[in-house]
Chain A
């Protein structure tokens, strides 16, 4: 591979009627990587994916896929596959025909087509449903047909646009594992758009967090969790997200700093804590309980307790934490060098 990334986006920008779509997107993806584009709705993650797919053409910047400059190339010539949020199955074609659609268009010989189709249905567990129309399938099955269609062509790059958002929570967890397994079995590169940070964190090798058309941070899930680059990342990643405290509320920090702290790094003390807060919320999740707290100079304070815990709402409590667990953000919300 000679060190060159498999997919690279260089300073991509796209606007609609002067309105911002995405700006300055620079991203390198290695072959075989699972990359998640994460962010709230309207952040430009889907636009980025569509730019990669060739469904939109960027106003500026270059896109290179597998060593070829495809910036202006049509979707058909980019050698990639895509899974849509709505699955985009052709309702007038059977499962088998849907899966073979692309191969038929590309004039793959019939024998090979059938072979590959059966193989793809085998992998996705759809055997016996070949002749069904998409309308006669459940949501989960449709989703798997869309997956089968994406993998059958054997393209090295697969783009997925929120493929799980139409499934119920239980199914979503199952399919998440399936996709991950598929990816490692086939060795394909996946770019995956989602607004669900759990999905991104649990599946991806690399997460690209976006906001307002700009990339906020690129890193492994672990990096995003433990070294958020901005306060936005801190508040977006993790369940519960990081609490942010005004610098002035604590001794030894300046007024224009913001401090971040995770739920697992705080504890209650009987007296003499660093902050005195009001209990606002008790969320019991089985193995742990999250106690939501409010403080006038902090946002999103949550303390994690093991097992079941009960605290009277409205009562005053003292919390403390170690300085080494604090994340320090500068005036613009950017992370300051680890002190």
Chain B
């Protein structure tokens, strides 16, 4: 009985994995063949890198890459600062209304960011950040998920360490930076992976808030590149897609374990 269940599980897992990876595999396949070879699945047809060349020349990719890179970096730095301070406050500082404030933060988890797009748009415009990379990143810096994660991480730090540091003459900020932050390193790494992948892939908000190639991240650039009015060439679009996701894919392969743990951990705690 259990043997059957087990093989059933395995078959199911493999099946799901194939379904999940199929689009990626197809994209790779299409990217290295000419369009007609790709869509007709001529397995013996010659491989080519022309698609990449054409795609690369078709749009300011270097600029897009740089934009995305700056975007995820800015968002991550902002998130680290905000979530560290807020997480510490919720974990270890006593202040009136703390539970209520934390409840409000948690409520944010229930709201899809897309719902807030109009409000965010108005806010970003008011701040004069429209069509800027900071404008894309700003609404995500006070991440409720990040605050929650940091609060849990800081709560698990033994209070004696805090007290020992206090007796040794550490200030509050000193304790946060010298004791809490280093001990939460795995959480920071996990959170960074989640954050970077989310914002690397984010599309709708950057599409709305940017309107020049100078600020566009990869995702927006890719969608404009692949828009029907430019003519649909599946091989070239696939090549551009592969280029866009390649850095993230490589990072995923390197940090696979931490990546999976990050999601698991976030679920358990």
> A residues touching B (Cβ–Cβ < 8 Å)?
53-55, 74-76, 78, 80-82, 84-86, 88, 90-93, 101-102, 105-106, 149, 153
Which residue of chain B is the closest to A91 with respect to CB atoms?
B183
> Which of B167, B169, B183 touches A92 (beta carbons < 8 Å)?
B183
Please measure, in the bound complex, the distance between the C-alpha atom of A54 and the C-alpha atom of B163, giving whole angstroms: 10
Which of B167, B171, B174 is A82 in contact with, Cβ under 8 Å?
B167
CB distance from B142 to the nearest CB of A (A): 27
Q: Does B114 contact A (CB under 8 A)?
A: no
Closest 3 CB pairs of A and B: A102-B168, A88-B160, A88-B164
Whose C-beta in chain B lies nearest to the C-beta of A76?
Answer: B169
B182 in the interface, Cβ–Cβ < 8 Å? yes
**Does B231 touch A at the CB level, under 8 Å?**
no
B53 within 8 A of A: no
Cβ-Cβ contact count across A and B, 8 Å cutoff: 62
* Distance to closest chain A CB from B88 (angstroms): 17
Contacting B167 at CB < 8 Å: which of A76, A86, A90? A76
| 21 A-B contact pairs sorted by A residue (CB < 8 Å) | A53-B167, A54-B166, A55-B166, A55-B167, A76-B168, A76-B170, A76-B171, A80-B167, A81-B168, A82-B164, A82-B167, A90-B165, A93-B182, A101-B165, A101-B168, A102-B168, A105-B165, A105-B169, A105-B174, A105-B178, A106-B168
In the complex with contacts A92-B182, A92-B183, A105-B160 CB distance below 8 A: no
Our pick among B160, B165, B167 for the contact of A81 (Cβ within 8 Å) is B167
B207 contacts the other chain (CB 8 A): no
Closest-by-CB residue of B relative to A80 is B167
Q: Please name the residue on chain A nearest to B179 by beta carbon.
A: A90
Beyond A75-B163, A105-B174, whether A86 also contacts B158 by CB under 8 A is yes
B185 close to A (CB within 8 Å): yes
- Residues of A contacting B167 in the complex (Cβ-Cβ under 8 angstroms): 53-55, 75-76, 78, 80-82, 102
Interface presence of B14 (CB below 8 A)? no
> Is B161 engaged at the interface, CB distance under 8 Å to the other chain?
yes
| Of B160, B161, B167, B183, most A-chain CB atoms within 10 Å | B167
> Quick check: A75 and B160 within 8 Å, CB to CB?
no
Residues of B within 8 A of A53 (CB): 163, 167
Contacts of A80 in B (CB 8 A): 167
CB distance from B136 to the nearest CB of A (A): 34
Inter-subunit contact B166/A88 (CB<8 Å): no
**Complexed CA–CA distance, A106 and B169 (Å):** 7
Known interface pairs A55-B163, A88-B163; A105-B182 also in contact (CB < 8 Å): no
In the complex, which residues of chain B have a beta carbon less than 8 angstroms from the beta carbon of A75?
163, 166-167
Q: Please give, as numbers and ranges, the residues of chain A lying within 8 Å of B183 by CB-CB distance.
A: 90-92
